[in-house]
């Protein structure tokens, strides 16, 4: 690959998975790999990534907040953040032909609010069509470790986050195993429903360990970006 990949049309990649799936590590490694190949990706997280989004993130993720956030309010705030992110970052980057690496997108809302909170997939997807104009990623990397392993990783990560920043983003992790099993099942269902968009990576696919997963992600992205360039050159 070379810099020409970022000069045709933008390419929108999302990273999905439960808390503790290793998304942050793999996004960082993917960004470094792309940069070495002359592609400077746009890095983004949801919720967050914009000034408004970071305020929404603080409301949604702080487990020490005194006022409970209802499931519908949570969903509305997630999509408010997402709409701002699309307007402020994603669409401009796509118009510039950039590669975007986004930590979470609507699949997270379908898994966490739709399944985890019991609001249902159809409600989430209807809001996505209305608020996000049904903007879909070109590729979704879905990291799906075992539930127990993910929860253990998430707990360790949050403790480090508290020590480093003094802020707590533990509200979802506090939901427990039953919640995360619903989230896990929803992610599996999404991958089955959209196999062309979603690349599932986890123990069940033979991919395990940070380097093995990173290598698999590089293979997937290389193939999809080259395919994207071929299609773009014919338009």
* Structure confidence by residue, pLDDT tens digits, 189-221: 999 999 999 999 976 665 678 999 999 999 999
Where do the domains of the chain lie? Answer: 3-234
| Lowest mean per-residue pLDDT among 13-22, 32-41, 142-151, 217-226 | 142-151
Q: Which carries the bigger pLDDT value, residue 214 or residue 176? A: 214
Judge if the upstream peptide bond of residue 231 is cis by omega within 30 degrees of 0. Answer: no
Give the pTM.
0.87
User: Encoding tokens for residue 106?
Assistant: 């609507």
Q: How many C-beta atoms surround the C-beta of residue 118 within 10 A?
A: 10
pLDDT bin (cut points 50, 70, 90) of residue 163 is low
pLDDT bin (cut points 50, 70, 90) of residue 5 is very low
Q: Would the pLDDT of 149 be above 90?
A: no
Q: CA 235, CA 216: separation in Å to the nearest integer? A: 29
pLDDT of residue 44: 97
Q: Would the pLDDT of 152 be above 90?
A: no
Q: Which CATH number fits domain 3-234: 1.10.10.10, 3.90.700.10, 3.40.630.10, 3.40.50.300?
A: 3.40.50.300
Q: Would the pLDDT of 108 be above 60?
A: yes
User: Encoding tokens for residue 64?
Assistant: 């020490």
pLDDT of residue 145: 87
Q: Binding site for ATP, residues?
A: 17-24
Q: How many C-beta atoms surround the C-beta of residue 143 within 10 A?
A: 23
Q: CA 192, CA 125: separation in Å to the nearest integer? A: 16
First to last CA, the chain: 20
pLDDT tens digits, 54-81: 999 988 887 556 678 899 999 999 999 9
pLDDT of residue 20: 85
Task: Report, as an integer, the average pLDDT of 29-45.
Answer: 97
pLDDT of residue 4: 39
Q: Binding site, residues?
A: 17-24
pLDDT of residue 208: 73
Q: CA 77, CA 82: separation in Å to the nearest integer? A: 9
Three-state DSSP state, 149? helix
């Amino acid at each position: 690959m070379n810099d020409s990949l970022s000069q045709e049309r933008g390419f929108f990649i999302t990273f999905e998975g439960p808390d503790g799936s290793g998304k942050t590590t793999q996004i960082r490694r993917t960004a470094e790999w792309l940069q070495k190949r002359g592609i400077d990706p746009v890095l983004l997280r949801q919720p967050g990534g914009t000034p408004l989004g970071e305020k929404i993130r603080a409301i949604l993720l702080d487990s020490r907040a005194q006022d409970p956030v209802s499931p519908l309010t949570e969903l509305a705030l997630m999509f408010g953040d997402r709409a701002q992110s699309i307007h402020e970052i994603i669409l401009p980057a796509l118009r510039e032909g950039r590669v975007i690496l986004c930590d979470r997108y609507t699949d997270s809302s379908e898994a966490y609010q739709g399944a985890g909170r019991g609001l249902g997939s159809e409600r989430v997807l209807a809001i996505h069509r209305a608020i996000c104009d049904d903007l879909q990623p070109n590729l979704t990397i879905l990291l799906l470790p075992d539930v127990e392993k993910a929860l253990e990783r998430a707990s360790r990560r949050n403790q480090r986050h508290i020590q480093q920043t003094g802020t707590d983003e533990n509200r979802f992790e506090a939901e427990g195993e039953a919640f995360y099993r619903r989230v896990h099942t929803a992610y599996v269902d999404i991958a089955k429903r959209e196999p062309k968009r979603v690349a599932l990576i986890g123990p069940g696919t033979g991919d395990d360990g940070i380097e093995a997963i990173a290598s698999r992600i590089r293979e997937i992205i290389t193939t999809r970006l080259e395919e994207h360039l071929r299609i773009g050159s014919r338009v």
